[in-house]
Amino acid sequence: MRRRDIVCFSHLRWDFVYQRPNHLMARAARRGRVFFVEEPMFEGEAGSTFAVVLRDGVTVITPKLPVSVASAPHTSLRKVVDDLVRLFDIADPILWYYTPMALPWTDHLTRSGTVFDCMDHLAGFNGAPPAMVTLESALMERADLVLTGGAQLYKAKRTAHPDVHCFPSSVDVDHFASARWIEAEPADQAAIARPRLGYCGVIDERMDMDLVARAAAAHPEWQLVMLGPVVKINPASLPRAANVHYLGAKAYAELPGYLGGWDVGIMPFAHNEATRYISPTKTPEYLSAGLTVASTTIDDVVEPYGNQGLVEIGDGPAGFIAACERALARERAAHRRLAGAFLARMSWDRTWVAIDALLEDLLDRRTRPVASRRAAIRRDPVGGVPVAASAASRGVTSLEP
């Protein structure tokens, strides 16, 4: 089996929330080196360097740059990645992008292939840099392979590149199924009354917190448990009530202990540009934990989960509250049987096997380009140089940027 190096550039820190990049890169590291380059941290006025830690077999790189270059960091970041390549003797890696914003300081790197794993519509998020749209277009042009994190993103990208593949959010079923047999609850949740309706994930502009407030007010007996970091919104703006509980960010390993004490998993997402293309990882995680689920009408939740009777769907305060009521009333054993049959086809391991096969095909094509070009030239009666017809020959016939 061929070993390979992957250098991954991410807008998410490895230790932030354990999600798609963590799952895929940890599996990639089982057969080769993976270097996960986070966004930089700016501190002091010393030279540009980077910190190195090992997580799940992945070498996590955090650039450390002086504060003075914060407004124009590209030159310093380019030096960091050059030092990284030299220090670890990285030759001919696959460059794997989660953020197009890394392109200006990595476009010079020698590579065997370029992958854009488009897990979110980043340009739709609050505070997205103005250059995001332009750089994403450039990355789509450069990429040999484009992956999308859900069906809506796939529909948006499939005509913009000739080699796009949809890999929706998956799940580690065994990890979350352990929630069903939790004996001792976490101390900060144990004293909260039942029934509990819980959310786990980032609390940011994608959340409609008014729905949380309205549900808490309509049903004072419900306990709304909110797990996760608060990002890009003012914590003071969050609804406060005796039956709304903010327990903060939790490690991935801790999540089953919390979900095991819930009655319903909720997804009170807003309808805005940041949620237009999302495919929430928490949907199959809630189902694996044995929970019934209530959500607003997010397209990648409605299909397949809502349409297959796995998630109760409702919009607006009245609709969402009604969805929560239906979820609470569902017969748990029958719901778990239905969810189990659906989840049997899902796992991050299966997702990675499929992606890994695409990478192997990409690298195999790289060994054939010279012979293919020569054969094509011999077949051309007027001696012209053939033009690449597909992504199979785009970007992998040369190591030049």
Residues 156 and 205 in one domain: no
Q: Give residue 369's pLDDT.
A: 52
Q: Is residue 384 part of a domain?
A: no
Look at 328 and 378; give whichever has higher pLDDT: 328
Q: Give residue 361's pLDDT.
A: 94
Q: Is residue 392 part of a domain?
A: no
Q: What is the 3-state secondary structure (H, E, C) of the chain?
A: CCCCCEEEECCCCCCCCCCHHHHHHHHHCCCCCEEEECCCEECCCCCCEEEEEEECCEEEEEEEECHHHCCCCHHHHHHHHHHHHHHCCCCCCEEEECCHHHHHHCCCCCCCEEEEEECCCHHHCCCCCCCHHHHHHHHHHHCCEEEECCHHHHHHHCCCCCCEEECCCCCCHHHHHHHHHCCCCCHHHHCCCCCEEEEECCECCCECHHHHHHHHHHCCCCEEEEECCECCCCHHHCCCCCCEEEEECCCHHHHHHHHCCCCEEEECECCCCCCCCCCCCHHHHHHHCCCEEEECCCHHHHHHHHCCCCCEECCHHHHHHHHHHHHHHCCHHHHHHHHHHHHCCCCHHHHHHHHHHHHHHHHHHHCCHHHHHHHHHHHCCCCCCCCCCCCCCCCCCCCCC
Residues 121 and 190 in one domain: no
pLDDT band at residue 45 under the 50/70/90 scheme: confident
Q: Give residue 123's pLDDT.
A: 85
Residues 196 and 97 in one domain: no
What is the tally of structural domains in the chain?
Answer: 2
Residues 249 and 333 in one domain: yes
Look at 93 and 367; give whichever has higher pLDDT: 93
Residues 150 and 185 in one domain: no
Q: Give residue 47's pLDDT.
A: 81
Domain finish residue from 113, 136, 166: 166
Q: Domain range for residue 65?
A: 6-166
Cα separation, 77 vs 179, in Å, equals 42
Residues 191 and 326 in one domain: yes
The position carrying tokens 């890169």 is: 25
Residues 183 and 138 in one domain: no
Q: Is residue 215 part of a domain?
A: yes
State the CATH number of the domain containing residue 128. Answer: 3.40.50.2000
pLDDT at 401 over 70: no
Residues 184 and 303 in one domain: yes
Residues 41 and 78 in one domain: yes
Instruction: Give the least confident one: 260-264, 364-368, 390-394.
Output: 390-394
Q: Is residue 358 part of a domain?
A: no
Domain finish residue from 143, 166, 189: 166
Q: What average pLDDT does the segment 366-374 reach?
A: 53
Q: Give residue 338's pLDDT.
A: 97
Question: pLDDT per residue over 139-156, tens digit each?
Answer: 999 999 999 999 999 999
Q: What average pLDDT does the segment 193-221 reach?
A: 97
Whole-number average pLDDT of the chain: 90
pLDDT band at residue 2 under the 50/70/90 scheme: low
Contacts of 110 (CB under 8 A, 6+ apart): 91, 92, 399
Q: Is residue 360 part of a domain?
A: no
Q: What average pLDDT does the segment 263-273 reach?
A: 97
Give the global pTM. Answer: 0.89
pLDDT at 367 over 80: no
Q: Is residue 383 part of a domain?
A: no
Q: What average pLDDT does the segment 98-119 reach?
A: 96
Domain finish residue from 328, 343, 358: 343
pLDDT band at residue 184 under the 50/70/90 scheme: very high
Q: Give residue 359's pLDDT.
A: 96
Q: Give residue 112's pLDDT.
A: 95
